[in-house]
Amino acid sequence: MIEKFADEALIEVSAGSGGNGCVAFRREKYVPLGGPSGGDGGRGGSIIFEVRRNLRTLAHLRYKQSFKAENGRDGEGAQRYGRNGGDAVIAVPPGTILKDADTGEIIRDFGSQEGSFLFLKGGNGGWGNIHFKSSINQAPRRALPGQRGETRRLRVELQILADIGLVGFPNAGKSSLLDRFTNARPKIAPYPFTTKIPNLGVLALGSTRRDEPGDRDIILADIPGLIEGASGGAGLGIRFLKHISRTAALAFLIDLSQDNYLEAFDILYKELETFSPELVEKKRILVGTKTDLERTAERLEELRAACPGETLLGISVFSGEGLPELAAELGRLAVGTAETGWKTEDKEA
């Protein structure tokens, strides 16, 4: 399953070379000594990156790693110009970053923007000999070759775009929450590391105010569970931590049925801080999960006392307890509005 999700690719791109200019002369029955008539070569095709919202990964760049635009055609006699080469258009998903493969320099960060980016312009076509005619040289036998197209090696990286990132240990209930809140259908099973790739889902929120009828959608990102030592490479989560770097806020899910419920937040916090101090500066909420189980009500209060100053909610995906309140809080963190309601009527039974 990991192989189907690709968030990095190494590719080589080459702009097309321009066509060569032509050396030719006008030769007709009654014009035996006509002047130069060599046309210009065509321009080479360019390398263009285009953001496509229907793409979610870079898997298509794993199968095709070399992209070359067409060369321009050579010029011909009778002042016929060569045809321009076709462009090579490379589709990428939103959140893509282009880097120089050798230096690591960021060339373009697409973020959430749409549109096209002309990366390498094709080589200009060479001039034909018609351009070199002068008063002292009526029959020039000179033409210019086309300009060579440039070749570059690129590292393409993807950082998925989401409003809220779900963070927690394996089996903390992240995938179950995503399944309950959204139309995403992540794999759910009672064993660790069920989630091996990031999953996205759209949480539909509707205003609870009569004078504010508009709906709001926020995107939730579920990444593989973290374990202690993840920032040093342990487990699967470290590979995908970059995917929550663009989120507006984080939700730390803490399994109240586990014995480490009091230390869980501190461990997760330290792992994120070691990976990137910017992650722990984001807005956040703590979510105690599985409140339908025995003794979790007391543990929720103990966790609240152990984390003063933190916003903490208790939920049960099984019973639905606390889910409307959590949806409203996630909406506030993502879009800055507190009066939002989870559109439960859109959820499947």
Classified as helix, coil or strand, 132 is helix
> What integer best gives the mean pLDDT of the chain?
82
- 168 a known binding residue? yes
CA distance 295 to 179: 25
The structural domains of the chain, ordered by start, are 1-158 (2.70.210.12), 164-346 (3.40.50.300)
Identify the pLDDT of residue 145. 96
- 96 a known binding residue? no
User: Position of tokens 């590719």?
Assistant: 11
CA distance 95 to 88: 21
Higher pLDDT, 332 or 2: 332
Among the listed ranges 4-8, 153-157, 210-214, 337-341, which one has the minimum average pLDDT value? 210-214
Identify the pLDDT of residue 338. 47
**Torsion angles phi and psi, residue 268, rounded to 5:** -60, -40
Q: Helices (H) and strands (E) in the chain — how many of each?
A: 6, 15
56: nearest Cα among 168, 179, 199, 163? 199
Question: Is pLDDT of 64 > 80?
Answer: yes
- Please say whether the dihedral angle defined by the alpha carbons of residues 164, 169, 172 and 174, taken in this order, is positive or negative: positive
- 257 a known binding residue? no
Identify the pLDDT of residue 342. 57
pLDDT digits over 123-163, tens only?
Answer: 999 999 999 998 888 889 999 999 999 999 999 988 877 88
- Please say whether the dihedral angle defined by the alpha carbons of residues 15, 19, 21 and 23, taken in this order, is positive or negative: positive
- 196 a known binding residue? yes
- 181 a known binding residue? no
- 184 a known binding residue? no
96: nearest Cα among 105, 106, 85? 106
- 64 a known binding residue? no
